[in-house]
């Protein structure tokens, strides 16, 4: 059975059980809004009522996709370390480069990442959108939505003759974190763990959830603002507490912009015996300039034929706006074919999708992007699928939504999916997008 047929079947069940589904949707929305008020952050109050269903066949494709891409990223990181001329292509600051080149002292180059892809459920074709290795979030949000949708009347009717499962993204990351720490050169038997961010920027609810999970495993765990850390005698400290392992949620761009207030962390990242899981070298994959560098001769020269083909098929054409000729009508007059992105923001901040803009807005975005060192990338048409939601008046709104598939990767292995959808080409909750629960059908 194809996923389109599954969606149609599920939507029909909702229509047949309209009143119960409306009530359950309102209860769920009220719960999320309460959570958002409680933590002063945006929790997923906007969601679609049909979970994102994937088949076992698609699950195998996700695992294979992750395996192939991750091996390519490891090659690029290795080349960055050994080849000074290749390193210069990334054009990082001297201070950031020093932190990237410092030893991590554990066995994993990219502990946690989310590969955001435009994936077609019809034929398995896909294009990468970005790699999120800094401050990767959404694990708890996905769990909340999926688990509660599985309690709905529609799902109970649907699952009478079909069964599905969801990935436990929070628990599996905690296990992966501990596994990585166990390979750390200076590991302690009973480590103290710090979840670290600029706390006004982080998702405090998710931090609390991870903290409780680490404590359940017997580890003393704190949540610390990165500005309150100090480095003394080869160790990172929060107040009077020595930290053995850091779960870094602070994104690299913010650390570098606010480096004067994060001196303790930066000193520790350069040389200490505190394990930083989320080492700064993950920036090599995280920064979107990689999408330009990966298709250059300098990168393709150390890839085998299968890897070269994979790159050419699945990475969209990307160039630096600073090198573009704005007299080229292919760029100015063909806005629907392009998207402008900053190299290192998150949550789709400052992303300009030509399809969503008027011509005058597009030309302004081009000029702004050129001044700020942004990239220009070929627009990838997202996969569209049917879904539905209840509006504030209780009407069931069925529509076609563009999909973004976020593949979580823990210690190099596929770990689950964060699903989002929108009627706009910019697929993000910050631009009117929706979160979805994600379920995998059993055979």
Of the candidates 298, 222, 284, the one whose C-alpha atom is nearest the C-alpha of residue 252 is 284
Cα-only R_g, the chain: 22
Q: What is the 3-state secondary structure (H, E, C) of 284-322?
A: HHHCCCHHHHCCCHHHHCCCCHHHHHHHHHHCCCEEEHH
Q: What is the pLDDT of residues 106-124, one digit of tens each?
A: 999 999 999 999 999 999 9
The pLDDT value recorded for residue 49 is 94
The pLDDT value recorded for residue 34 is 81
The pLDDT value recorded for residue 46 is 78
The pLDDT value recorded for residue 326 is 60
**Whether CATH 3.40.50.1760 fits 3-287+383-441:** yes
* pLDDT (mean) for 180-193: 97
Residues 6+ apart with CB under 8 A from 55: 1, 3, 440, 441
pTM: 0.94
The pLDDT value recorded for residue 40 is 57
pLDDT class of 148 with cuts at 50, 70, 90? very high
Where exactly are the structural domains of the chain? 3-287+383-441, 318-379
Please state which of the ranges 148-157, 215-224, 282-291, 324-333 shows the lowest mean pLDDT.
Answer: 324-333
The pLDDT value recorded for residue 348 is 53
* pLDDT (mean) for 401-420: 96
* pLDDT (mean) for 77-99: 96
The pLDDT value recorded for residue 200 is 84
* pLDDT (mean) for 398-417: 96
The pLDDT value recorded for residue 394 is 93
Q: What is the pLDDT of residues 16-45, one digit of tens each?
A: 999 999 999 999 988 888 877 765 555 555
pLDDT class of 1 with cuts at 50, 70, 90? low
CA 207 to chain centre: 16
Q: List Cα–Cα distances, 375 to 179, 322, 344, 387, 430, in angstroms.
A: 36, 8, 10, 32, 20
**By percentage, how much of the chain surpasses pLDDT 70?**
95
pLDDT at 347 over 80: no
* pLDDT (mean) for 159-169: 93
The pLDDT value recorded for residue 38 is 67
The pLDDT value recorded for residue 198 is 94
Distance separating alpha carbons of residues 321 and 422, to the nearest angstrom? 27
Of the candidates 111, 135, 254, 256, the one whose C-alpha atom is nearest the C-alpha of residue 202 is 135
Q: What is the 3-state secondary structure (H, E, C) of the chain?
A: CCHHHHHHHHHHHHHHCHHHHHHHHHHHHHHHHHHHHHHCCCCCCCECCCCEEECHHHHHHHHHHHHHHHHHHHHHHHHHHHCHHHHHHHCCCHHHHHHHHCCCCCCCCCCEEEEEEEECCCCCCEEEEEEECCCCCCHHHHHHHHHHHCCCHHHHHHCCCCCEECCCHHHHHHHHHHHHHCCCCCCCCCCCEEEEECCCCCCHHHHHHHHHHHHHCCCCEEEEEHHHEEEECCEEEECCEEECEEEECCCHHHHHHCHHHCHHHHHHHHCCCCEEECCHHHHHHHCCCHHHHCCCHHHHCCCCHHHHHHHHHHCCCEEEHHHCCCCCHHHHCCHHHEEEECCCCCCCCCCEEHHHCCHHHHHHHHHHHHHCCCEEEECCCCCEEEEEEECCCCCEEEEEEEEEEEEEEECCEEEEEEEEEECCCCCCHHHCCEEECEEEECC
Residues 6+ apart with CB under 8 A from 59: 440
pLDDT class of 204 with cuts at 50, 70, 90? confident
pLDDT class of 346 with cuts at 50, 70, 90? low
Are 379 and 336 spatial neighbours (Cβ–Cβ below 8 Å)? yes
The first and second tokens of residue 349, run together, are: 């901040």
Distance separating alpha carbons of residues 340 and 291, to the nearest angstrom? 13
Q: What is the pLDDT of residues 127-137, one digit of tens each?
A: 999 999 988 88
The first and second tokens of residue 227, run together, are: 């500005």
pLDDT at 432 over 70: no
Say which residue, 127 or 330, is predicted with more confidence. 127
* pLDDT (mean) for 50-58: 96
Q: Quote the Cα angle for 360-364-368, to 5°.
A: 170
The pLDDT value recorded for residue 323 is 78
The pLDDT value recorded for residue 272 is 85
- For 381, other C-beta atoms within 10 Å of its C-beta total 12
* pLDDT (mean) for 188-200: 94
Mean of pLDDT over the chain: 92
The pLDDT value recorded for residue 260 is 95
pLDDT class of 205 with cuts at 50, 70, 90? confident
Are 344 and 287 spatial neighbours (Cβ–Cβ below 8 Å)? yes
Please state which of the ranges 142-156, 319-333, 393-407 shows the lowest mean pLDDT.
Answer: 319-333
pLDDT class of 235 with cuts at 50, 70, 90? very high
Q: What is the pLDDT of residues 214-223, one digit of tens each?
A: 999 999 999 9
The pLDDT value recorded for residue 31 is 86
* pLDDT (mean) for 304-325: 92
């Amino acid at each position: 059975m194809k996923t389109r047929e599954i969606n149609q079947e599920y939507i029909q069940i909702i229509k047949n059980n309209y009143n119960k589904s409306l009530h359950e949707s309102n209860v769920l929305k009220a719960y999320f809004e309460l959570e958002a008020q409680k933590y002063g952050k945006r929790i997923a109050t906007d969601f679609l009522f049909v979970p994102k269903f994937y088949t076992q066949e698609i699950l195998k494709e996700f695992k294979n996709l992750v395996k192939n891409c991750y091996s390519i990223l490891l090659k690029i990181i290795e080349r960055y370390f050994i080849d000074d001329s290749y390193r210069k292509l990334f054009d990082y600051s001297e201070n950031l480069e020093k932190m990237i080149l410092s030893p991590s002292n554990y066995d994993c180059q990219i502990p946690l990442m989310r590969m955001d892809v435009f994936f077609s459920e019809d034929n398995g074709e896909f294009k990468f959108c970005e790699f999120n290795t800094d401050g990767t979030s959404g694990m708890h949000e996905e769990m909340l939505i999926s688990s509660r949708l599985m309690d709905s009347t529609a799902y109970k009717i649907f699952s009478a003759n079909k069964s599905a499962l969801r990935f436990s993204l929070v628990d599996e990351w905690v296990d992966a974190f501990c596994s990585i720490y166990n390979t750390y050169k200076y590991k302690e038997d009973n480590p103290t763990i710090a979840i670290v961010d600029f706390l006004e920027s982080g998702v405090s609810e998710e931090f609390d959830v991870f903290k409780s999970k680490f404590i359940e495993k017997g580890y003393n765990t704190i949540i610390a603002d990165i500005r309150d850390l100090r480095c003394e005698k080869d160790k990172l400290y929060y107040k009077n507490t020595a930290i053995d392992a850091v779960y870094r949620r602070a994104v690299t761009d913010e650390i570098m912009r606010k480096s004067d207030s994060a001196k303790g962390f930066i000193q520790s990242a350069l040389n200490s015996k505190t394990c930083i899981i989320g080492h700064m070298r993950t920036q090599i994959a995280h920064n979107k300039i990689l999408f330009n560098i990966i298709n250059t001769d300098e990168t393709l020269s150390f890839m085998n034929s299968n890897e070269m083909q994979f790159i050419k098929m699945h990475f969209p054409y990307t160039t630096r706006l600073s090198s573009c000729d704005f007299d080229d009508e292919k760029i100015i007059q063909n806005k629907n074919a392009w998207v402008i992105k900053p190299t290192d923001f998150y949550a789709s901040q400052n992303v300009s999708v030509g399809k969503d803009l008027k011509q005058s807005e597009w030309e302004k975005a081009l000029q702004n992007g050129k001044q700020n060192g942004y990239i220009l990338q070929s627009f990838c048409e997202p996969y569209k699928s049917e879904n539905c939601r209840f509006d504030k008046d209780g009407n069931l709104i069925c529509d076609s939504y563009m999909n973004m598939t976020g593949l979580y990767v823990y210690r190099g292995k596929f770990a689950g999916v964060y699903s989002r959808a929108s009627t706009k080409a910019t697929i993000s909750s910050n631009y009117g997008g929706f979160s979805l629960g994600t379920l995998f059908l059993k055979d």
